[in-house]
Amino acid sequence: RGGEGLVASCVICAETFDSGKHRPAVGACDHGGICALCFMRLRLLMEDRACPLCKASLEHVYVFNGDATTMQPFASLNIWGTEAGPGYVYDERASMFMPRAFHRDVFAPMQGFR
């Protein structure tokens, strides 16, 4: 974050963060080395709500609207209850905040494969 110690790829799937399927995501523990797709798989398929790095229980996960350069600390995000600002939706099943287009184009279609 802020260019210092920036993680450029997901520690699970090793894909480079991008503004498509592999957007960076973060929970309250601020470990930002997991992509949105891997968080989605962990939370929905494996029913695992823990950070894969520190094992902290994550009530919510926030998906960034861009590549690794858009990452911020979780505490600085504009989250109020289940609202994360314009252009963001909250998926209750996954407890994830994500850009509306990501939810529509990537997240929602993949939920049918469970």
| pLDDT tens digits, 41-98 | 999 999 999 999 999 999 999 999 988 898 999 999 988 888 898 999 999 999 999 9
Note whether residue 76 is domain-resident: yes
Note whether residue 75 is domain-resident: yes
Which residue's entry shows tokens 């260019």? Answer: 3
Note whether residue 12 is domain-resident: no
User: How many domains does the structure of the chain reveal?
Assistant: 1
Give, for 89, the enclosing helix (H) or strand (E): strand 88-91
Note whether residue 8 is domain-resident: no
Q: Which domain holds residue 54?
A: 24-110
Note whether residue 16 is domain-resident: no
pTM: 0.89
CB atoms within 10 A of CB 38: 19
Question: Which class for 75: exposed (0-12), middle (13-18), buried (19 or more C-beta within 10 A)?
Answer: exposed
